[in-house]
Every structure is written in structure tokens, then in C-alpha cells.
Structure 1
């Protein structure tokens, strides 16, 4: 025997052509669908909650997102921050200008005479 599937939120509405029944998994989605049906001209829009309570169109404000727990917002992998400690900044190096001659080289040259050969 097949296992029955439980529908958390059932949204129903009636217009001049017939009746519509759709299920939604969260109260936010059920509220959005019920508001859309009301905008489209459906009459007798109702939402049945998982506990069996039927909310009419004037009671839909009870499904507002403030009553539901918020889910974490997902970010792209590049925007996520890791839980590692921040690295220490590197020690700044003195900038060397290539056009200016170094003073150390001039001081180390004592004589300009010929070098000794071995």
C-alpha cells in the first residue's frame, strides 16, 4: 500500500470557470499564491494549514513571515567568509629606485687600481 503524502499548505480558490487547488511547502509561498489568486479575481480564496485550520482571505495576515523561522541566506562561494584566523600582514620592504645608484656600492670600492691576479 502506498504511503500517503501529507501536503503542508493547501491553497484553494474559485472563479467563474471552476475551482483551483494547489499545495505549497511553506507559509510564505502559500501566502504569495493566495494573494496572486485574489489579484487575478478568484473568489473564496482559502489556505488550509498543516494542523487543519482553514484561513479565509481576510485572515491571511496570520501567515506573515515574522511567524516563521528565517532560513540562512546563501551566498556565492567567493562572498563567503571563512572561519580561519586572519593572516598577519607582511612586513613592508623599502622601495628601491633603479635609477638612483646605491651608496653602499660606492663606499665599498676603496681603490680604482688593477685587481690582483692569482
Structure 2
């Protein structure tokens, strides 16, 4: 079973961004928890990429648009160094979400901060 980890590494933060984008009103206090959940999922996915047996290189390719004369493919690829950068970035985002101030004066802009961070 091939799990599309690279695609999931893009989609998980995107889904978290969309969810925190629409958190307004009384749901603002949950923006940090939502951002933390999606950040943890991203870290787990990136660590799964790091410890996989195919650490040398990962690639995914999908046929996106196909017409009679044109075929457009969507491809993602990482090598050994890129995998380390992906893991480092995911861990850094998680640490920022964990240690962001819980200052109540900034409460109304909190969802905007988290959707920008993810």
C-alpha cells in the first residue's frame, strides 16, 4: 500500500489553514488547539518520511490534466537533504504553535495568526 506522504504533507497544513481561517466569534479560543493538532500530524508525517526505508529519494507523480494534445502531470519529489529540511520545518512550526503567547489582548487576531503560520 503506497501512502502518498508528500501529498499529505501539503494537504494536512492546507486543511488546518482552511479550518482556522473560518474560526471566528466564540470559536477563536480553539484556534491554537486546531493548529497544534494539524502541526502534530504534519510532524508525524514528516518523521514517517524520514524513517522510511526509501530515505534516499521520494517522488510522487499524478496525471492532472489530459487532453488529446496535452498531458499535464503533477509531481512532487524530495531527496535526503530535502527530507531533513521538511522535518526541521514541521518541528519548528509545532514549537512556534506550542510556545505562542496566550495573551488575551491578541485574542481576536489569533485565528489569522495560526492560519498564516500553517
TM-score computed with the length of structure 2 as normaliser: 0.28
Greater Rg by CA: 1
With CA pairs under 8 Å and 6+ residues apart, which has the higher RCO, 1 or 2?
Answer: 2
TM-score computed with the length of structure 1 as normaliser: 0.28
